[in-house]
Structure 1
């Protein structure tokens, strides 16, 4: 399967910008809205983007086996796609899914022990999974590279 997410939005600079600039946007949103409202806004923005990527590729509600979903999401969100994060695994867990990833945009550049949690990344993973599976989900980060884990891990519970 060939997946192309190139939009050629800028003829000279290309379609990607720096993590430093993205993190500055996050910090600005947190300062303007407060931490809780910013978290809600960033998760929502990520969710919309993840869903949009899957829909643009015509893969929504594809009833794909979980290993294929993991491969697909690794392709569109990893180094051959948007470079949001590297996905190591997607597994079924009690009442939903568990996603293990690394090099997330949300954790990048943060000091060990930082209280930062995945926001935009969590939302993008959620939106993509919702679009592929056709199930409404609620995500919660359960492990963090910033607090001693080798991966950022998110569990998504299936809602109703």
Structure 2
């Protein structure tokens, strides 16, 4: 049983600088590819748990309601991981448009987009919401001139 340790003075959240230091340390130790795999996997696990907590597993409510719930838990009222601007679902592709992603802060246009942890969380949520096995990728980046960080999912 996990301990329920509270941070009375510091609260629930940490800084972006601390997160970036964790990612950089992992990359230095494990390499970029292994770090990316680990962060996506950690994000997917967290996303699945969040979807379960929100009652989104195979959700029957409309997409707008689900988007509002996800935005609340990931946005300014929640973990502050990112803002979910919109979710579009067509027959074979799910696109999630995000902004102010934790992973993009402090990045530059010289590197490929790597919102691995954020991608993973959104991937885990969408997998549970749609009850489909999905393949995810980061297709557009604010760091490369895009209006959003776009995560795209296809059914496998």
Superposition CA RMSD, Å: 1.6
Conserved 8 A contact 2:71-2:83: yes
> 1:145–1:8: structure 2 CA closer, same or farther, 3 Å change rule?
farther
Are residues 1:10 and 2:21 paired?
Answer: no
Matched, 1:149 2:146: yes
TM norm structure 2: 0.91
Name stretches of at least 5 consecutive residues in structure 2 with no aligned partner.
Answer: none
Superposed, 1:59-98 pairs within 5 Å as 59-93=56-90, 95-98=92-95
Which residue does the alignment assign to 2:44? 47
- Whole-Å separation in 2 of the counterparts to 1:19 and 1:30: 16
Instruction: Give the CA deviation at 1:158.
Output: 1.4
**Alpha-carbon separation, structure 2, partners of 1:77 and 1:27:** 23
Residue 135 (structure 2) aligned to one of 134, 138, 141 = 138
SS in 1 for 2:38: helix
What is the deviation of 1:9? 3.4
SS of the residue aligned with 1:108?
coil
Q: Is the 8 A contact 2:140 2:150 kept in 1?
A: yes
- Work out the CA distance in 2 between the residues paired with 1:43 and 1:19: 18
What TM-score do you get using the length of structure 1 for normalisation? 0.89
- Displacement of 1:131 in angstroms is 1.6
Any idea what SS the aligned residue of 2:26 has? helix
